[in-house]
Chain A
Amino acid sequence: MECVVEGIIETQHVEALEILLHGLCGAPKELLKIHEFCLRSGPNLGVVSSELRILCDLEQPKPTWTVRQVGGAMRGAGAEQLSVLVRSMLESKISKNGLRFFYILGYKLDHELLKVGFAFRFQKVVPITVTVTSVHKMLKLHATDEAVPVTPGIQLVEVTAPASADNYSEVVAAISSFSEYLAPLLHLSKPGVSAGVVPTAAAAAASLMSDGRGKTL
């Protein structure tokens, strides 16, 4: 299970966001370059059609592979009122022949993406991960070298934290309060409920840039 919110930011303000995140985190950023293969079960396979994501971390000296299964969001009136999405999520490290394996099982490539950017990991009450990425699409199959941005000038910010049925409300609260730190630069909401860029971003970014880099807040 995981709790997640996301938002978007103009590329010109990403540096300011990085300064802010670095200040909050204290630790250096991690670079990200993830090739994401979104697979869908073949015709008639499965009780219902299912989706799996195979992630290849290209930032590692030797690429590492992961399969991720994102399940449905938690339902009910209580979940509706939360400002954070709570959903099931399972991840497993896999061998490098994973893509071939799932193709043999009958999964088909639906689409692929390349996410390039950075991440900060926070040890708050719960471990929170913030990723800031530029999402690219491939013009040719698997051609990561020729990937082009899906939304030029706009980057995706995702804030996630692992959760369980016992502690999700605590995690939701931690993410909500964390989101407030970033509010001047971007608005974070449940995935699929984008609120666009925030009008204060330019002023907040200018202020952060002039305040000095890497200053711990």
Chain B
Amino acid sequence: MPVKWLLYWQPNAGITVNTQILTEISQCVESSINGVKDGRWKSTLIFYRPITRDQSSQNDYPKDLLGVSLPEQPDKYYFVLRSHRIVFEADSNIQSIMEKAQSYKARIALTFEGFQYQLGDFQLKVGKVALTAHAENLRGIAMEVEYLPLSSLDKSRQVLEDFVDILQEIVSSRSLPGHFTHIEPNFSEYSLTDHYSSQHTSLQYATVMTQLLTTLRN
């Protein structure tokens, strides 16, 4: 599977992210670097919390269980527990199993959605992050940059770095109040190899989610 980087928009201090910024970023991709729009995309993240019969038992169970569904793997579902450094993959009906088991409950759902662009060997996805229940309220901006010819993280790092640098320059020429940030999780801590997979993508979503929540709280 081709390597991808997931970036998120880090607004300048005191600035809140808004749809105008997203529109300008989309324009950059479409007109400045001639990205060809070829469809929509949507990923969904759900935070789960343990259901306990006794309030004092809440701390006995992990509170950071995150479920991820990705458009490129519609039949799969991923769970990430950053506190325990684990990414778990299952068929998408694992969600029904979790519901039936009634041991963890969906607490909050977020949607990443927007447009997909082709640009030579690259595929870009640009979109907004919003609470699924309040889809009109933008809470963040995310961008996936995928380099189609390579599936090795190490081998693709330089080309992705260069491409993201160019993107940053183009975006900064519009004097937008912020910049894109990329945090590469320590994949090996999660027993994920150099060969890219959807488990890597899920972990990147979990990492970005944590950053976005921190930004929102501040």
Q: A residues bordering B, Cβ < 8 Å?
A: 41-48, 50, 52, 67, 69, 71, 88, 90-95, 97-98, 100-101, 104-107
Q: B residues bordering A, Cβ < 8 Å?
A: 50-54, 57, 60-62, 65, 79, 81, 84, 86, 88-91, 93-94, 96-97, 100-104, 191, 199
Give the distance in Å from the alpha carbon of A97 to the alpha carbon of B81 in the complex.
12
- A92: chain B residues at CB < 8 Å are 90-91, 93-94, 97
- A46: chain B residues at CB < 8 Å are 51-53, 101-103
Give the distance in Å from the alpha carbon of A42 to the alpha carbon of B101 in the complex.
12
Write the nearest CB–CB distance from B171 to chain A, whole angstroms: 37
Beta-carbon contact of B51 and A95 below 8 Å: no
From B62, B101, B102, B199, contact of A104 by CB (8 A)? B62
Give the distance in Å from the alpha carbon of A67 to the alpha carbon of B93 in the complex.
11
Nearest A residue (CB) for B84: A104
Beta-carbon contact of A45 and B100 below 8 Å: no
CB contact under 8 A between A52 and B97, given known A42-B60, A45-B61: yes
The 11 listed contacts between A and B (C-beta, < 8 Å) are A41-B101, A44-B57, A45-B61, A47-B53, A69-B100, A71-B100, A92-B91, A94-B90, A95-B89, A101-B79, A107-B103
Nearest B residue (CB) for A71: B100
- B50: chain A residues at CB < 8 Å are 45, 105-106
With most chain B CB atoms within 10 A of its CB, the pick from A71, A95, A100 is: A95
Nearest A residue (CB) for B61: A106
- B91: chain A residues at CB < 8 Å are 92-94
From B57, B65, B96, B102, contact of A43 by CB (8 A)? B57
Extra contacts besides A44-B57, A45-B60, A46-B102 (16): CB < 8 Å: A42-B60, A44-B54, A45-B52, A46-B53, A47-B51, A47-B103, A50-B102, A52-B101, A90-B96, A91-B93, A93-B91, A94-B89, A95-B88, A105-B103, A105-B104, A106-B62
Write the nearest CB–CB distance from B59 to chain A, whole angstroms: 11
Write the nearest CB–CB distance from A48 to chain B, whole angstroms: 7
Give the distance in Å from the alpha carbon of A69 to the alpha carbon of B100 in the complex.
8
Write the nearest CB–CB distance from B63 to chain A, whole angstroms: 11
Beta-carbon contact of A94 and B94 below 8 Å: yes
Nearest B residue (CB) for A102: B88
Give the distance in Å from the alpha carbon of A43 to the alpha carbon of B60 in the complex.
9
- B102: chain A residues at CB < 8 Å are 46-48, 50
The 7 closest A-B pairs by CB, nearest first: A46-B103, A44-B57, A95-B89, A92-B91, A101-B88, A47-B102, A92-B94
Write the nearest CB–CB distance from B83 to chain A, whole angstroms: 9
Beta-carbon contact of B61 and A105 below 8 Å: yes
